[in-house]
Amino acid sequence: MKFRNPIISGMNPDPSICRVGEDFYLVTSTFEYFPGIPIYHSRDLVHWEMIGHCLTRNSQVKLVTGAPNCLNIYAPTIRWHNGVFYVIVTCVNGDNHGNFLVTTTDPTGTWSDPLELPFPGIDPSLFFDDDGKVYYHGTDQNVYLWEVDLKTGSAIGERHWIWQGTGANNPEGPHIYKINGMYYFLVAQGGTELCHMSVIARSKSLYGPYESCPHNPVLTNIGRSLPIKAIGHADLIDDPMGNWWAVCLGNRPLGYPFRHNLGRETMLAPVRWENGWPIIGENGAVLPEFESTSELPEYKPKGYVPGSAVHDRFCGDALHPSWNYIYNPVPGLITLTGSSLHLLGNAVSLSEDAPKTWLGRRQEHITCTAQMTMQFSPKEDGEEAGLTIYMNPGHHYEIAYTRMGGQNVVILRRRIGSLQAIEAKIPCAANHLTLYLACNRERYAFSYAADEGDLIPVGSGETSYLTTEVGGCFTGNFIAMYASGNGKNCTVTAEVISFNYDPIAE
């Protein structure tokens, strides 16, 4: 089986995986975006489809503003036991790190309301031992283990501090496995930047002492001249044929100096066992392409495949699964009519950290295009609707149709930290516009067409300024449609007729 990384592109960090028979299920972190925690399904580990989300109701989670890209939904773990799927996760709301659990018997359906857990720290995981006991393990500066009652969410007994990794900073994302009678403890460390890695230890007893693997770290791309960097935060899984695999996060820098704009993505590597220890990938490295001796039957998804082209005409009563809100959706701002999408701008601008009229999808390819066609006629100064490439409130570029000084104009605006400027302003009297974004390694370029005329270039901005290393934290760039009254509610609605996202092979 030959495959390329990433297997799930765009912002999909902290992957966790489980298997039920021939079916694999995978979840990733979502931070301030809603719905929370996408669920992906596959049968060959290479071809994935999005089958839903765990957090789809405002009653399940309250996403908070402040320190964008650094808060809210962290590092979920998915496990299956006795017919039930469990997803355990942290919601970081400033100083409060609340851990909770949601469950379902059907991952394509709805998930339960959260069961709050009393355990401190972040990056929780669950381990079901052979004796029927269940254990919570996570990080609270260091890694710990605590028995848990999954019916009540209460802790049983005392907390146990166990193996802390090999000494690098920021131990995170711990997972426990029982393989051939031995307990294996996998931990990420080194921080989630270029020094990220995963290390492993084993013991005959759950509480240890644990023996560190002699060739730790078992997973890292440190010191390798590879186009994938920051490999770590892994989870292990076996397939129905007895082969083992690792899913992990990594990023794809645009060039040197290393800067990445898509966020941390989900990677896959084969695992072989030697002397009771895992050898992941190519001696611990994750390559952009692997040739594996495993031959799982090719899976052909029937639903939405991340990384594929999407041409959305907004028909029906449900949004395409690739769309996301920032924070919990505000009723009335974004509405499906059955044949189009209506955006009613509130007073919040793109540069404010608050719920806004914004509907975005992950930028999944370094080279791609996006096109939005809408009908909109602003009546008051400040009313605008447009298309943005968006990292956070302090870092975004957009093309918009707005009203300034009593005149309707197409503008190109760029925000880079505390610097903001309107770099182009073109008078335009059309009601029907197409806004166009072309993305590559060097630039984000914007064009527009009025009343189905030819595309007119407006301007561009450097890709490097919309990267995690320049202005981000834990997420990647989103391509979003938006509307705003920039200080007051809009008096008119933007009607979006269509949206196209098309990848371009480099």
Q: Which residue among 14, 44, 364, 398 is the active-site one?
A: 14
The three-point CA angle 37-43-49 to 5° equals 40
Task: Give the neighbor-by-neighbor strand order of the sheet with 72-81.
Answer: 72-81, 84-93, 96-104, 115-117
**With contact defined as beta carbons under 8 Å apart, do 296 and 262 qualify?**
no
Nearest to 444 by CA among 462, 457, 417, 456: 462
- Token representation of residue 328: 């919990």
Task: Count Cβ atoms below 10 Å from residue 216 Cβ, excluding itself.
Answer: 20
Looking at residue 469, the DSSP 8-state letter turns out to be H
Nearest to 324 by CA among 340, 309, 306: 306
For 152, list phi and psi in degrees, rounded to 5.
-105, -20
Q: Which residue among 32, 49, 123, 172 is the active-site one?
A: 172
Looking at residue 443, the DSSP 8-state letter turns out to be E
**With contact defined as beta carbons under 8 Å apart, do 42 and 299 qualify?**
yes
Number of residues assigned to the chain = 506
Distance CA 396, CA 465 (A): 9
Distance CA 443, CA 506 (A): 14
**What DSSP line would sit under 229-273, residue for residue?**
EEEEEEEEEE-TTS-EEEEEEEE--SSTTT--SS--EEEEEEEEE
Q: Is 172 a catalytic residue?
A: yes
Q: Is 451 a catalytic residue?
A: no
Which H or E run contains 79? Answer: strand 72-81
- By the 10 Å C-beta count (0-12 exposed, 13-18 middle, 19+ buried), 277 is classed as middle
Task: Count Cβ atoms below 10 Å from residue 122 Cβ, excluding itself.
Answer: 18
Region for residue 353 given its phi and psi (left: phi exceeds 0; alpha: psi -120 to 50; beta: otherwise): beta
Q: Would you state the torsion angle of the CA atoms of residues 398, 258, 365, 40, taken in this order, to the nearest 10 degrees?
A: -110
Beta bridge partners of 97: 92
**With contact defined as beta carbons under 8 Å apart, do 226 and 287 qualify?**
yes
Nearest to 419 by CA among 394, 382, 400, 455: 394
For 157, list phi and psi in degrees, rounded to 5.
75, -145
Distance CA 59, CA 85 (A): 20
Q: Would you state the torsion angle of the CA atoms of residues 471, 475, 477, 481, taken in this order, to the nearest 10 degrees?
A: -110
Distance CA 375, CA 342 (A): 10
Q: Give the residue numbers marked as catalytic.
A: 14, 172
